[in-house]
Amino acid sequence: SSSMHTHPDGLTYVLEGALAHKDSTGASSVIRVGDVQRMSAGTGISHSEYNASETEPVHFLQIWIIPNETGLKPGYEQRSFDLEKKSGSWVLVAAPDARDGALKVHQDAELSLAVLPKGEKLHYRLRNGRQAWVQVGRGKVTLNGSLLATGDGAAISREEVVNLTADDQSEILLFDLR
């Protein structure tokens, strides 16, 4: 018996340094701080990511989202988001309807990023039946009363509002999921 194999959409987000990307279609790019790249492997792409610098460290997050449809064409999209300019507010970077300049993802999931200066508060309202996954890219935040540090993640369900307070200059990723 054969089964359809779907490759997830890969979102790469660089927190510091620069990441070089090469793949079997001949595409290569450098993903820099504030850039988000979506790669839909579709029917298959082999790819590699490596540090673009021999001296500077690179810190990046790679997020895989399983698409809700099969047979997607391979493709890339890369956008730069000025999070510093929009400091203290959510910036939508990936969504199925690609609204507000977000990257398109083939799933009912939205990814928002925020840079939050120390002491600032931010909240996110979840629509009925939605849940959130919060990931701290850097810094320290208090999330609905719990302290989270760099690298920590937390799932939130059955809550209407995600309340965040930055205990340090922080960068936060929030996934809005069904």
Per-residue three-class SS string for the chain: CCCCCCCCEEEEEEEECEEEEEECCCCEEEEEECEEEEEECCCCCCEEEEECCCCCCCEEEEEEECCCCCCCCCEEEEEECCCCCCCCCCEEEEECCCHHHCEECCCCEEEEEEEECCCCEEEEECCCCCEEEEEEEECEEEECCEEEECCCEEEECCCCEEEEEECCCEEEEEEEEC
Where is average pLDDT lowest: 74-78, 105-109, 151-155, 159-163? 74-78
Confidence at residue 78, expressed as pLDDT on a 0 to 100 scale: 85
Whether the per-residue pLDDT at 152 is higher than 60: the answer is: yes
Is the pLDDT higher at 121 or at 3? Answer: 121
Mean pLDDT to the nearest integer, 100-116: 90
Confidence at residue 24, expressed as pLDDT on a 0 to 100 scale: 75
Most confident range, picked from 33-37, 53-57, 78-82, 147-151: 147-151
Whether the per-residue pLDDT at 11 is higher than 80: the answer is: yes
Whether the per-residue pLDDT at 23 is higher than 80: the answer is: no
Confidence at residue 1, expressed as pLDDT on a 0 to 100 scale: 36
pTM of the model: 0.77
Where is average pLDDT lowest: 44-53, 82-91, 161-170? 44-53
Give residue 2's pLDDT band: very low, low, confident or very high (50, 70, 90): very low
With contact defined as beta carbons under 8 Å apart, do 83 and 113 qualify? yes
Residue 170, burial from CB neighbour count under 10 angstroms (0-12, 13-18, 19+): buried
Give residue 140's pLDDT band: very low, low, confident or very high (50, 70, 90): very high
Whether the per-residue pLDDT at 3 is higher than 50: the answer is: no
Confidence at residue 72, expressed as pLDDT on a 0 to 100 scale: 66
Is the pLDDT higher at 19 or at 7? Answer: 19
With contact defined as beta carbons under 8 Å apart, do 123 and 164 qualify? yes
